[in-house]
Structure 1
């Protein structure tokens, strides 16, 4: 009975419909690229890579005569442990961990058994994990994971989103858009310029993310090389540590306690949070434009918008993206605030937190995919936007009163406020106001040529010059 119960639970766990988290259930196929980097299996693989490369580094130090110089054949055998690591190996480590109750020690025992199969090294297996504390391995494993996620996941997805918005901006560079401040109609802009606002904001975060350095350390129990120097006092361990960390294409952190303090992870996470906030702003704006019929969504005939209202085409991609971005940000904010704090030289809270980085990233990736998909479904309702713009001639009072100021007419704002505030002003009334102005006829004629639709200021040129200003970000 007990065995059947366990089997039943196992079968349920294999079925995605029984997953507690939608990351491992409903959305599991959307986050495979995150799973390849941040699953426990992937963490094992990165840890093994660090352990083996550290052993290789030790073999190059002349003062450590106990380890033989590794020839090409021996190195290949070592690298094959990394290359051939599979789920069966990961299960072996988990089985050892059930006994040791310590994940890194379990990994060390697994590696010792594997390396003992290499004749040239079987007498030197005690140099596996030599002078290392757990975080010497963990911090570098996570650094490698974050480096890969930054380069292979975040930058590419951010570029895809930015390119999608750029396409909209360029396609609708001259398409006028009625704007709203405080939810009330304001001056006219263009769709191109309003999209460019988001593009520039996102590009800034992208270049900041690129410039965040991934840090790492390899310096022992409290960061002082105590054990290293006890065993080999004549070695410049500071130099060895820097060389090793840099060999992983990670920036060396010379000052740590037992753990790398995670300040750079906090910097990285808060940068992603800012990018996500910008996208929350974007999708909520698009949602509103859809709700007032400025934007229309393409749809598939087979899809359903509502279980009861047949006519509905809901902006679900943008709603889904907003919720997933907020979930992601909530987790990342907690991580960014708490990861840099450790009691005295070490406590274990960061271990639990670090294991949830992948979860926070998964929610972001789901959102990014929804944003890309959602933008692809958008069409611009040009005729309707034009109609709404031309129903709001009162927006030209801004141009009129500002021109009056340039001619030193007293209280221009107050005069126009008296006759227009809270009222629906027509084209005829605007012409009448202009005709009464004590300004040169030439200027009156110019004002008369302004319409709500062409009152877009420098919007077109600002959109055209977008790349010039983005390129300046690269050089900062």
Structure 2
């Protein structure tokens, strides 16, 4: 990952030194398990536990000859041990070490993702509560519809992140597993108990059945969940960008005192954070195709997945955590212009009461829906073309034909009508 989008906590997990240390931990845990099974003596295990270490440079030297990284790894470890070195890699195949270790790295990274998701959720909840009773123009197809609660927008995203977390927890359960089943995955040179001990010691679940590798449907599911999360991040970022447009100006990203929006136009304030998140979300989703293709391996295994996973897994976590953190900060610094939102509501001359009027007339008269709809539509067009209040247009065009008690009309033209059930929505969503 390029430095610009690197997250130190993620890099510390996926760097070569830590990765090889996790490989080493797997080997030690397997030796511990063999000791528990009575094959390796307590003294031999103690020597392995205390003395086994990995020198990356030495491993790379050996790999030039062996052209096999795990063989180079085990030989480099063996050079740090005495006779007890014969127990290193006993009964294992390369991917017992590599996949178990990689799933551990994934587990460690997943914890950081969860923390970032929870922090983002908290910001959205705060915004939802703050703006629960703040009116804004709702839009459909990009066109004004009816006023609604601004807070509902943030509550919607909060609820969506809850669903993303549910999917993520399921994906975590499926991928955070140990795979210690030997060369063909049939435990011919391994004992069931070894895998169980290693999994328990490493805080992982167990891969119930595998071939020589952990099946990549697990990885594909995880990455597809991340792609789905990215779609939520882009959804939010796109909404910020839309509201910051010069033609709208209801929201805008925070702008630092010395920040610059353009190299040539000093007046510009651009939604750069939201655009950044949008681009990175697209990049993250591009990994799904690779992940699904990785699930198709020849017979028990091949290594067509191995090369790309060395790159994409750390990149995915860097991009995802970076994007989550940047969106959280963007939302925290978001500036919302309530006067501009009210200005836009008032600019519509109350035409957005068309549906409440339609419903009221239909309930209280015997005319057909088509007739009433056409009458109200005619009044709305006159309202916007002539810039007159919608209620005035209704009366002018013969509302009394449909409504006998005109005093009831005043009850309909109440702006709080559009947020009358907001409390119920909040109660249901937050209770869940």
> Please, what TM-score do these two structures have when normalized by structure 2?
0.90
Equivalences, count: 417
* 1:270 has 2:224 as partner: yes
The unaligned stretches of length 5 or more in structure 2 are: none
Aligned equivalents of 2:296 and 2:70: distance in 1? 22
Match of 2:119 in 1: 160
Equivalent position to 2:238, from 252, 270, 284: 284
* 1:69 has 2:30 as partner: no
Q: Superposition pairs for residues 205-220 of structure 1, below 5 Å?
A: 205-212=164-171, 213=173, 214-220=176-182
Match of 1:233 in 2: none
Equivalent position to 2:362, from 375, 387, 405: 405
Match of 1:445 in 2: 410
Match of 1:60 in 2: 36
Equivalent position to 1:459, from 407, 422, 432: 422
Equivalent position to 1:199, from 158, 161, 166: 158
8 Å contact 1:215–1:252 — kept in the other structure?
yes
Match of 2:275 in 1: 319
Match of 2:49 in 1: 78
**Root-mean-square deviation (CA), in Å?**
2.3
Aligned equivalents of 1:378 and 1:419: distance in 2? 38
CA-CA distance at 1:129 after TM superposition: 0.5
CA-CA distance at 1:275 after TM superposition: 1.2
Aligned equivalents of 1:405 and 1:239: distance in 2? 72
CA-CA distance at 1:242 after TM superposition: 2.9
Match of 1:149 in 2: 109
Match of 1:11 in 2: none
Aligned equivalents of 2:48 and 2:156: distance in 1? 54
Q: 1:70 to 1:263 in 2, by over 3 A?
A: farther
Match of 2:252 in 1: 296
Match of 1:7 in 2: none
Match of 1:245 in 2: 199
8 Å contact 2:7–2:318 — kept in the other structure?
yes
Match of 1:224 in 2: 186
CA-CA distance at 1:353 after TM superposition: 2.6
Q: 1:106 to 1:441 in 2, by over 3 A?
A: same
8 Å contact 2:33–2:197 — kept in the other structure?
no
Aligned equivalents of 1:47 and 1:149: distance in 2? 16
1:348 alignment partner, SS class? coil
Aligned equivalents of 1:384 and 1:316: distance in 2? 22
Aligned equivalents of 1:255 and 1:422: distance in 2? 70
Equivalent position to 1:374, from 315, 325, 330: 330
Equivalent position to 2:345, from 383, 389, 404: 389
8 Å contact 1:328–1:361 — kept in the other structure?
no
CA-CA distance at 1:77 after TM superposition: 6.4
The unaligned stretches of length 5 or more in structure 1 are: 1-22, 117-121, 229-236, 470-476
8 Å contact 1:187–1:456 — kept in the other structure?
no
CA-CA distance at 1:311 after TM superposition: 1.1
CA-CA distance at 1:112 after TM superposition: 0.9
8 Å contact 2:351–2:390 — kept in the other structure?
no
Equivalent position to 1:42, from 3, 7, 18: 18
> Please, what TM-score do these two structures have when normalized by structure 1?
0.82
CA-CA distance at 1:285 after TM superposition: 0.5
* 1:345 has 2:310 as partner: no
Aligned equivalents of 1:268 and 1:463: distance in 2? 30
